[in-house]
């Protein structure tokens, strides 16, 4: 099982994207755990994640988040994919990064 944590300003705005990613994973029979947290909750949740994806609102904090989650890949969600709430594309991005790790 791959554990994907999304991070945004408060953890609320990515909730819809989380649901769309879960739906895409189910359709592809991919076993994942996906959840969203606010930027201030990363440190407390980093040990549970295989990858952390950042929403556009917290892109500026990537270095800080990387330091709070040593060994966990951190990547930005594409603006287009985020804006369109393209769960399948964001899921694919996460899986590709985890596979390279």
Catalytic machinery residues = 8
DSSP label at residue 12:
S
Q: Tell me how crowded residue 11 is: count the other CB atoms within 10 A of its CB.
A: 19
Rounded CA-CA distance 51/78 in Å is 15
**Alpha-carbon distance values, 27 to 11, 66, 87 (Å):** 25, 31, 12
């Amino acid at each position: 099982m791959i554990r994907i944590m999304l991070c945004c300003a408060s953890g609320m705005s990515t909730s819809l994207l989380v649901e769309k990613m879960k739906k895409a994973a189910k359709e592809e029979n991919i076993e994942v755990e996906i959840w969203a947290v606010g930027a201030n909750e990363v440190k407390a949740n980093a040990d549970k994640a295989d990858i952390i994806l950042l929403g556009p609102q917290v892109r500026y904090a990537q270095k800080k988040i990387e330091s709070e989650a040593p060994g966990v890949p951190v990547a930005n969600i594409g603006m287009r994919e985020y804006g369109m709430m393209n769960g399948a594309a964001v899921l694919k991005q996460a899986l590709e990064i985890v596979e390279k790790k």
